Structure 1
């Protein structure tokens, strides 16, 4: 089955429908996702507006980039320590 990626706007729209009183099972069937997915979305995006969700995505991307930079720096540091610890 083909995997569908929903945008933050779409997810928040679905959650707004749920807040308006629609049943979870009906929403899941209507949008073609499982109920568990709706609960996960609610845990992550519950109470957010579209602009806040976009900011959250930008911060997550920046955090991932910074983690990769830190890992590279630590790897370089460990290599230099190994090189300097050897006796010539």
Structure 2
């Protein structure tokens, strides 16, 4: 089958580079690339398992309640932080 393709510049450069390194004809390189791409696009995708972050118990807070930021800063930095 004959057809005309308009290739983006970056795709064309990659095809020419492959042609030079493999020694194949441009037509063969394009057909191989299309074949591989179509196989990947039509292959069923495996469902991904959602990632969950493991939890770690750090124990109780060493400075008491962390609910009030000003109290925590006073304990950690001293009263001079204000």
TM-score by length of 1: 0.27
Rg: which structure is higher?
A: 2
Between structures 1 and 2, the one with greater helix share? 1
Relative contact order higher in (CA < 8 Å, ≥ 6 apart): 1
